[in-house]
Chains A and B, each alone.
Chain A
């Protein structure tokens, strides 16, 4: 057994406190009976009830979910295509420039991305609303998908695609029947990443939204400017819960698959010996 070390214990406590104390406080106060956020007056689920009765919040939630689903789906399709081309195309003049340009939005300040998109939408006379937010979110989350998918494709055995071609597939069939099923976990986690990014984006959404479409982060931000209400705490707690469940599910699925594969491979090795 490893010896207990005060240094390790302290580091761990400090680190996790730093990361999770704010969220724990938020979760606790969401069950506060008092209307005052900083005064504890006993346990209650009252604010959750009020939250679900508030049509404005429900509308905002519905907008956010639609934006996240559409933008992450489009971003996944485009990002996967970009990754496939970048990994597959081999060497060509300007390859480094192209791959750099795909990843540049990762480090671009959101304010600048938002502003430039706003200028574009005004310039081409597009009415701002859900559609423009979807476009904007697709733009920046696409490169995250591309990063995730291309790292999976880099270790993908090219011979598998060649085997599919050799057995009579067209290039598109080879991608659909062989490549896509194999890289599916990366594509799904790319989608989840894009979905989460879209869910919590405030800056770009507030640049590109119009009066008809208010997303949850925008709603929360504007509500908080009028003072933090326990309703917001309840809403935030729900969002934390959704994200946590999503992340744990995704990691469990991939871990189970890896464990099952390792077990099967060991069994096969024993059968040979």
Chain B
């Protein structure tokens, strides 16, 4: 039996929860968000990814109500949210610094938002208990924020922002302060909680692995513009530009002249070198400079010339990065171009036959790489 794939963005009848319509935000002379249009759907886990200063935090602060757009409108459930102050929005935010109230206990922190709605005491207590259970904090309810660990503080911040059952939860670099191990573990907890509560999550992060792990869709941003919005696998396998390919993961870029031959593109990239065969992404205008992008793990490395690969390039091993589970070989091709090839270390290090200054063959299929216009 096949499971229904969650992809509301492909359904034209689905009403988006959030619509950015030609939103521009300027701070003085600086344009933080530049004429941006974006739809985010109910129950999505949407990641805004980009380097610092790309405008991702500004987008989040506009959703929370701390900033107003200079131009354009933001709709939440079809309603323009510009005139609604932050305390009246069905949107809650988890802050990067967590912003836990230091003078209140964990219990009081979580109850803080509920008390503002003047619910009766029993309803508040029941909701707080539920949140404490969800985030496994029941034992720490009476502690103050400085009496618990960083990971626990992170969960208090999450519980507090979820307590009011917002339509939309904003997470500003939620795991930035945690160490790597804890961060990976917490990513799965976040996904689990998102699924359990059915809340729409928008997460801001500069960590591409985090975005890839948690998100249903990722928006890659740069200088106030959306560069590509797609599912993590499309972003990785079929980036729309060199910028995206380079930002997400590791990539080899080869510049050359592309010529269409049937379904494939032939890339002439250096004198006296065999051409590279690749697959274009959509229509590709030929006879101009194009970029061939290929992930290092899709490049095979061997000492003998492989028999039946369409793309084969010869070079010399310059550097080997040993990461335990995988190794990355930096290979210099005939014209000085560097190319990285990655292999899983399925055998012990002592049995490895490729070493520094070896002549090697790099090979890949004609669908492994992608050709990009810019």
Contact = CB atoms under 8 A, between A and B. Distances in A.
A267 B147 contact: yes
Interface stretch (B9-17, B92-100, B300-308): B92-100
A181 B103 CA distance: 7
Contacts of A188: none
Interface string B17-38: 0000000000000000000000
B102 A166 contact: no
Contacts of B78: none
Interface string B315-327: 0000000000000
Interface string A241-273: 000000000000000000001001101110110
Q: Which label, helix, strand, loop or mixed, suits the secondary structure of the A interface?
A: helix
A141 B262 CA distance: 85
Contacts of A272: 149-151
B170 to A, nearest CB: 9
Interface of B: 64-66, 85-88, 91-93, 95-97, 99, 101-103, 112-113, 116-117, 144, 146-151, 160-161, 164
Given A159-B97, A162-B99, A170-B87, A271 B149 contact: yes
A74 to B, nearest CB: 25
B292 to A, nearest CB: 45
Contacts of B88: 168
Contacts of B164: 167-168
Contact of A166 (B92, B103, B151): B92
B146 A268 contact: yes
A169 B146 contact: no
A185 B97 CA distance: 23
A202 to B, nearest CB: 39
Given A157-B99, A165-B86, A167-B160, 11 more contacts: A162-B66, A163-B95, A166-B64, A167-B87, A168-B87, A169-B116, A178-B101, A267-B147, A269-B149, A271-B149, A272-B151
A170 B86 CA distance: 9
A160 interface: yes
Contacts of A269: 149
B99 A163 contact: yes
A268 B117 CA distance: 32
B149 A173 contact: no
Contacts of A267: 147
A268 B102 CA distance: 14
Interface of A: 157, 159-160, 162-170, 173, 177-178, 181-182, 261, 264-265, 267-269, 271-272
B146 A265 contact: yes
11 contacts: A157-B97, A159-B96, A162-B66, A162-B95, A164-B112, A165-B87, A167-B92, A167-B161, A169-B87, A170-B87, A264-B147
B92 to A, nearest CB: 6
Contacts of A271: 148-149
B113 A167 contact: yes
Given A160-B99, A182-B103, A166 B150 contact: no
Contacts of A166: 64-65, 86-87, 91-93, 161
Contact of A268 (B103, B116, B147): B147
Contacts of B99: 157, 159-160, 162-163
Nearest to A267: B147
Contacts of B101: 160, 163-164, 178, 182
Nearest to A269: B149
